[in-house]
Amino acid sequence: MPTTYKVLAMTGAAGNHGNGAQTLTATTNTNLYTVPAATQTVVSSIVICNQAATAGTYRIAVRPAGAAIDNRHYIIYDATVAANDSTIMTIGLTLGATDIVTVYASATTMSFSLYGSEIA
């Protein structure tokens, strides 16, 4: 099984990069990353960057097999990032095929980056 280390996904108001990533819209659940079929993923780190002069909040959920969002899927809920600051998490999150990482931000001045490896 080959392993590929990569930037899995990035999203923000300016656009997105990665598998399944959508352009970030404030106060809306946004798919950051979808694990490809026949693939497993290990997320090594998540970076949340707040580019605004005021604090912002964010949420991160993991939806197994693309399930509809539910309270049990949240791994972070309404955490705060200070003005002009970032939160960096070393997480070791393991995901199976078609799992989706969904994010939510209080403003479009926030961006999310997901780093890790895909195992096909």
pLDDT by position in tens, the chain (length 120): 789 999 999 987 677 788 878 888 899 999 999 999 999 999 999 999 999 999 999 999 999 999 999 999 999 999 999 999 999 999 999 999 999 999 999 999 999 999 999 999
- The domain ranges of the chain are 3-119
Per-residue pLDDT at 20: 78
Per-residue pLDDT at 17: 82
pTM listed for this prediction: 0.94
Cα 10 from Cα 110, distance rounded (Å):
11
Mention the CATH class of domain 3-119: mainly beta
Q: What are phi and psi of 53, to 5 degrees?
A: -85, 5
Per-residue pLDDT at 12: 75
Per-residue pLDDT at 18: 83
Is 104:23 a contact under the CB 8 Å cutoff?
A: no
Taking only the tens place, the pLDDT of each residue in 50-63 is 999 999 999 999 99
Residue at token pair 């970076």: 47
Length of the chain: 120
In the 8-state DSSP scheme, what is residue 73? Answer: G
